[in-house]
Structure 1
Amino acid sequence: MKLNQLEMLVLLAETGSVQAVSERMHRTQAAVSMALKGLEEDVGVPLFDRSGYRLTLSAQGWQFLRQAREVVKQHQRLHSLAAQLQTGAEPQLHITYDYTCAPAVLFPVLQQVQEQFPATELLLSGESQLRALRRIREGEADLALCPWLPIFRQHGDFETVRVRPFELWVVCAPALLGDVAVEQLQRQDLLELPMLIPQNQDIGIDLDQIMRIPSQQRIRVNDSITQRELLLAGMGWGIIPGDLIGDALERGSLVRIDIAGFLTHVNLEVHLVRSAERIAGPVEEMIWQFFSQSSHEKSS
């Protein structure tokens, strides 16, 4: 059983004639008929109905065809993979993102990657806090999406490109405030309410220093996703990236707290990060250039 025999079988089902198969595969009709007969002998069951004017598939032939098509498709995919490997396209690309950064910003360029490099497998993984940078530094990921501070360069030889601003908002569930309107909140009111805060960021962000107000009750969690769920449950108020709770604000499940002098201004940005010590493949470079061009257009 040879691949070209399976290809002939598939074409016969699509075109309906041995002549069309011979034209498509640049073989004589006699060579096609002989190859199909040899396939039938190898399989050991009648694949064709020869009672009519044209050669057609038998019931068993149609059943065999389903698997033959899959084999032909897999062969075509292998050809595509081989061609891309010859050009240096990565078999896999691992992208990690910090949970504080919604990964949807990556989706437009990842769709382009799927179209231009279908053989490259994309691996996406979320990380709590800023461990995404460690994955880059240790060679466990190719690209990372995370909040960026210049101090992070002390932890590795990184190259970065700006993706968008990083906004931190103070929010809570309306039920937590009781009869107090959010517009009337004072600093003292928050002192009497529990505060939900991520555990200390271990690569440079200290939310305790960002907040200008203490709280008598604190619940610390180890990631912003859990913090968001606790906020929605009315367990306390907290400071959280705007990307993670925009939909909740629109629904009214959460409300923003804005008290003058309450929150130290935070000038952060979300960056795409990679190691400056590695040579990027074409897929990684395509993603990088997508954000580099976008950043250049916004700054010009």
Structure 2
Amino acid sequence: MTVEEMNKPASFKLHDLRCFDAVARLGSFQAAANALHRTHPSVFAAVTRLEERLGLTLLDRSGYRVELTEAGRMFHARAGISLRELDNLDSYARQLAIGEEPLLRIVLGDLCNRPSILGALSTFFVDRPRTRLHLDYEAVSGPFERLRDGSADLIFHRAAASRTDLEQIRLCEIRLLPVAAPGFLPHEAGSEVTPQQLQSFTQCVIRDTARDTTPENHFLIDGAPRCSVPDHTMKKELILHRMAWGHLPEFMIEDELRVGALISLQGRYLPGRTETLAAMRRIDRPHGPVAEELWGWLTDGLREF
């Protein structure tokens, strides 16, 4: 073989590659022909043609059963990977052709009532088995970063009224209340606790999961010691164990407030805040058919959040 021939890209048919793969897996030309619904001579010719185009002897035909040569084993290992990728690509194209994208990436933010959101998504996706739902969690500015870098198709997070680059569907209001466990603070429950009185007590805050964070003041008390946690569930546990105080969504602590396991610090100096939970997506990106169906479903308000 000349240098020019060695450097020339191999050109072979996918049909020939599939015939070789079948012979390698099944151990005979006849078995491969039966599996592929071809004739024995056509499969034999396809494999011979592939060997000629590659300049390799892939099969040892000297015995009762055909065997892979060393080159054949190495080539078949790579060919198997390529054939699986082609099959996946074919499946992907067929799913697109019938109008359902294979994957939808959704990020839940730190304010989400997860049982409610997951219940809604379960209801929507039960009739769309061809689309796989990929869920992630991000906090503070993390969900917005995921939209910006294109690794999320849709997020559920606090509404951002000033963001003109996003479409937003307002879903519900979330009240955030300042709370502490009984005995954590020396002040009587219901008294007007001031920020100055809290400066010596640990405040629990949610960590921002974004890589490029921007300074945001979420109820921070200047000069107070702080501890950070990944989500409100962990934050609630720390507060219940008298390790810190902090703001929590009201839907998470209704029972604890009712039985006195937590005490509200809400008052003139610590008013809390009401946030709007929204579904958001980018305006400048195309969205697949299932993503559009989900957006319309959320717009129509078919689920209580």
TM-score range, shorter chain: 0.5 to 0.7
Aligned to 2:278: 271
How many pairs does the alignment contain? 267
Aligned to 2:288: 281
Cα displacement string for residues 229-268 of structure 1 (whole angstroms, at most 9, x for unaligned residues): 798497641113478x88xx9xxxxx63335868757655
Aligned to 1:160: 169
Quote how far apart the aligned CAs of 1:171 are: 4.3
Rounded Cα–Cα distance in structure 2 between residues aligned with 1:172 and 1:257:
5
Contact 2:30 2:40 (C-alpha < 8 Å) held by counterparts: yes
Aligned to 1:9: 20
Rounded Cα–Cα distance in structure 2 between residues aligned with 1:131 and 1:297:
22
Listed as ranges, the gaps of 5+ residues in structure 2 are 1-11, 207-215
Rounded Cα–Cα distance in structure 2 between residues aligned with 1:196 and 1:113:
44
Aligned to 1:71: 82
- Give the TM-score taking structure 2 as reference length: 0.58
Listed as ranges, the gaps of 5+ residues in structure 1 are 200-204, 209-213, 250-254
Aligned to 1:116: 130
Quote how far apart the aligned CAs of 1:128 are: 2.4
Quote how far apart the aligned CAs of 1:69 are: 1.1
SS at structure 2 position matched to 1:35:
helix
Aligned to 1:187: 191
Quote how far apart the aligned CAs of 1:34 are: 1.7
Quote how far apart the aligned CAs of 1:51 are: 1.0
Contact 2:16 2:47 (C-alpha < 8 Å) held by counterparts: yes
Quote how far apart the aligned CAs of 1:31 are: 1.2
Q: CA RMSD in A?
A: 5.3
Amino acid corresponding to residue 187 of structure 1 in structure 2: S
1:51 maps to 2:63: yes
SS at structure 2 position matched to 1:77:
helix
Kindly report which structure 2 residues correspond to 1:10-29, keeping only aligned pairs within 5 A, or say none.
10-29=21-40
Quote how far apart the aligned CAs of 1:160 are: 0.7
Rounded Cα–Cα distance in structure 2 between residues aligned with 1:56 and 1:97:
53
Cα displacement string for residues 200-228 of structure 1 (whole angstroms, at most 9, x for unaligned residues): xxxxx9966xxxxx97854579x874896
Rounded Cα–Cα distance in structure 2 between residues aligned with 1:279 and 1:71:
29
Q: Which of residues 241, 258, 266 is equivalent to 2:264?
A: 258
1:30 maps to 2:41: yes
Cα displacement string for residues 37-84 of structure 1 (whole angstroms, at most 9, x for unaligned residues): 3334435245335411x4344565444432221111111122234445
Rounded Cα–Cα distance in structure 2 between residues aligned with 1:197 and 1:83:
49
Name the CA shift for 1:239/1:47 in 2 (closer, same or farther; >3 Å): same
Amino acid corresponding to residue 132 of structure 1 in structure 2: F
Rounded Cα–Cα distance in structure 1 between residues aligned with 2:296 and 2:82:
37
Rounded Cα–Cα distance in structure 2 between residues aligned with 1:19 and 1:131:
56
Rounded Cα–Cα distance in structure 1 between residues aligned with 2:146 and 2:91:
34
- Give the TM-score taking structure 1 as reference length: 0.59
Amino acid corresponding to residue 51 of structure 1 in structure 2: G
SS at structure 2 position matched to 1:296:
coil
SS at structure 1 position matched to 2:264:
coil
1:237 maps to 2:252: no
Contact 2:204 2:244 (C-alpha < 8 Å) held by counterparts: no
Name the CA shift for 1:165/1:17 in 2 (closer, same or farther; >3 Å): farther
Rounded Cα–Cα distance in structure 1 between residues aligned with 2:17 and 2:128:
28
Overall identity of the aligned pairs, in %: 22
Name the CA shift for 1:74/1:141 in 2 (closer, same or farther; >3 Å): closer
Contact 1:172 1:231 (C-alpha < 8 Å) held by counterparts: no
SS at structure 2 position matched to 1:144:
strand
Aligned to 1:132: 144
